[in-house]
C-alpha cells in the first residue's frame, strides 16, 4: 500500500531541539566574587532514570562534584496529531533547479513532546542554568529546520515552553547523594511530509491541425494541414557569434557587427535580452526588425554581445518562455 520514503523529519526536529541547549555554562565564584571555575554543562539524549541510576549505583563517582554534576538530558516523550493546523490535502512544489515539478501531499501537522531534565547538586548551579533558558521562550521559540531536502522546504517550528517541575532530594541518610532535579516540558509544532514524486515539465514539440473543405452533404474537395513548432524567444546556449560595431538606439533598423558570417537572413538574434529578426544582410550590416515577440527595443552600446537563436535553443525552452511559432502550409 505504501512505498518507502524517509525525510528524517522527526530525527531533524529532535536534533534541532537538542542543539538549543548544548552551549549552557555555569560559573563558580569565591568570596571576593572572582570567577574560580567555568563549567560547560554536558547534554545527552536519554531518560532521566538512567542518569539517576548511574549516580546511585556507580562505585567510582566519589570525585569532585563538577565532574559529575551538573548535567542535562532530554528525551522525546510523545507524538500527537494537531487538527487545528490541518490544511488542504495536496499542493505542487517546484524544485530548486526549476526543471521539474515536485508533487507531494501537504504536510500533516503533528505535535512532538519533549522533556529537558537538569540535574545539579548546588541550587545556585540550577538557577544559573534555568535563567539562561527561560527568557527565550515567550512562551515559544521558533526553530528553522529544512524538513524536506528534495523541495528545499524550510519551516519555522515553534518550540513552546509548557511548564517546569522541581524536585529536591535533600532528606535521608548521610550516605545519600543530594540531587536537584528540574524537568522542563516543551511542545514542538512540526509537520510530517509524505512521499514526493517528480513530474517533468513537458514542452510541446509540434502541433498539427488538419482542415477538410466541404460540408456533410458533399465530398471533400481539398485538404489542408498546418503544422507549428515551438521557437525560443531568447538564446539559451550562451554562444556569442559576434559583437556590435557601433552604438544603436531603440529605433535603428540597420546595425553593423564585427563579423556577420555566422548570421543568416530570416533568422533571429538575441542582444541583451532583445529579440531581433534579421531580414537581410550586406557584408557586416544587418537589416533588422527590432523588439520582436513583445521584447522591448532598447539602446545597445558598441561591443554588446550578439547571440543567435537556433534550433539548439528550441530544444532548451524552459517553462515560462512564451515561445513563438512558425508555420508551414502543406
Q: Where are the domains of the chain?
A: 9-199, 228-329
Using a 10 angstrom Cβ sphere, with 0-12 exposed, 13-18 middle and 19 or more buried, the burial of residue 100 is middle
Is the model's pLDDT at 323 over the cut of 60? no
Q: Say whether domain 228-329 belongs to CATH 2.40.30.
A: yes
Name the strand (E) or helix (H) holding 24: none
3-state secondary structure of 30: coil
What pLDDT, on the 0 to 100 scale, is given for residue 229?
Answer: 65
Question: Each residue of 262-283: pLDDT tens digit?
Answer: 899 999 999 998 999 999 999 8
Closest CA to 20 of 161, 122, 121: 161
How far, in Å, CA of 289 to CA of 104, rounded?
46
User: Phi and psi of 149, rounded to 5°?
Assistant: -65, -35
Higher pLDDT, 57 or 87: 87
Average pLDDT, stretch 169-190? 75
Residue at grid coordinates 560547560: 40
Q: Are 264 and 279 in contact (CB under 8 A)?
A: no
% the chain with pLDDT above 70:
69
Q: Are 245 and 256 in contact (CB under 8 A)?
A: yes
CATH code, residues 9-199: 3.30.2000.40
First to last CA, the chain: 52
Q: Is the peptide bond before 139 cis (omega within 30 degrees of 0)?
A: yes
Higher pLDDT, 56 or 11: 11
How far, in Å, CA of 157 to CA of 143, rounded?
5
What pLDDT, on the 0 to 100 scale, is given for residue 253?
Answer: 93
How far, in Å, CA of 115 to CA of 47, rounded?
9
Question: Each residue of 308-319: pLDDT tens digit?
Answer: 888 777 766 655
What pLDDT, on the 0 to 100 scale, is given for residue 167?
Answer: 84
Q: How confident is the model at residue 66 (pLDDT cuts 50, 70, 90)?
A: very low
Average pLDDT, stretch 19-32? 90
User: Phi and psi of 195, rounded to 5°?
Assistant: -70, 150
Q: How confident is the model at residue 128 (pLDDT cuts 50, 70, 90)?
A: very high
Indicate if 228-329 has the same CATH topology as 9-199.
Answer: no
Amino acid at each position: 500500500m505504501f512505498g518507502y520514503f524517509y525525510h528524517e523529519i522527526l530525527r531533524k526536529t529532535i536534533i534541532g531541539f537538542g542543539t538549543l541547549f548544548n552551549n549552557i555554562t555555569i560559573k563558580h565564584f569565591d568570596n571576593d566574587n572572582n570567577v574560580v571555575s567555568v563549567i560547560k554543562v554536558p547534554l545527552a539524549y536519554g531518560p532521566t532514570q538512567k542518569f539517576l541510576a548511574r549516580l546511585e549505583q556507580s562505585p567510582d563517582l566519589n570525585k569532585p562534584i563538577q565532574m559529575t554534576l551538573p548535567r542535562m538530558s532530554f528525551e522525546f516523550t510523545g507524538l500527537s496529531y494537531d487538527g487545528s493546523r490541518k490544511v488542504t490535502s495536496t499542493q505542487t512544489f517546484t524544485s530548486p533547479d526549476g526543471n521539474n515539478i515536485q508533487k507531494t501531499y501537504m504536510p500533516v501537522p503533528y505535535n512532538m513532546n519533549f522533556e529537558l531534565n537538569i540535574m545539579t547538586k548546588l541550587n545556585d548551579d540550577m538557577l544559573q542554568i534555568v535563567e539562561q533558558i527561560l527568557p527565550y521562550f515567550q512562551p515559544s521559540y521558533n526553530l528553522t529546520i529544512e524538513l524536506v531536502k528534495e523541495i528545499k522546504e524550510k519551516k519555522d517550528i515553534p518550540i513552546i515552553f509548557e511548564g517546569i517541575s522541581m524536585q529536591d532530594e535533600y532528606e535521608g541518610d548521610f550516605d545519600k547523594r543530594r540531587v536537584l532535579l528540574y524537568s522542563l516540558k516543551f511542545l514542538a509544532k512540526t509537520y510530517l511530509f509524505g512521499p514526493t514524486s517528480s513530474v517533468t515539465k513537458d514542452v510541446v514539440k509540434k502541433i498539427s491541425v488538419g482542415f477538410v473543405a466541404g460540408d456533410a452533404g458533399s465530398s471533400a474537395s481539398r485538404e489542408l494541414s498546418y503544422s507549428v513548432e515551438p521557437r525560443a524567444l531568447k538564446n539559451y546556449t550562451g554562444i556569442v557569434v559576434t559583437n556590435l560595431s557601433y552604438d544603436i538606439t531603440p529605433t535603428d533598423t540597420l546595425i553593423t557587427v564585427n563579423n556577420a558570417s555566422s548570421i543568416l537572413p530570416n533568422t533571429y538574434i538575441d542582444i541583451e535580452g532583445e529579440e531581433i529578426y534579421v531580414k537581410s544582410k550586406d557584408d557586416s550590416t544587418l537589416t533588422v526588425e527590432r523588439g520582436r515577440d513583445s521584447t522591448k527595443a532598447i539602446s545597445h552600446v558598441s561591443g554588446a554581445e550578439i547571440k543567435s537563436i537556433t534550433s539548439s535553443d528550441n530544444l532548451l525552452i524552459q517553462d515560462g518562455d512564451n515561445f513563438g511559432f512558425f508555420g508551414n502550409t502543406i
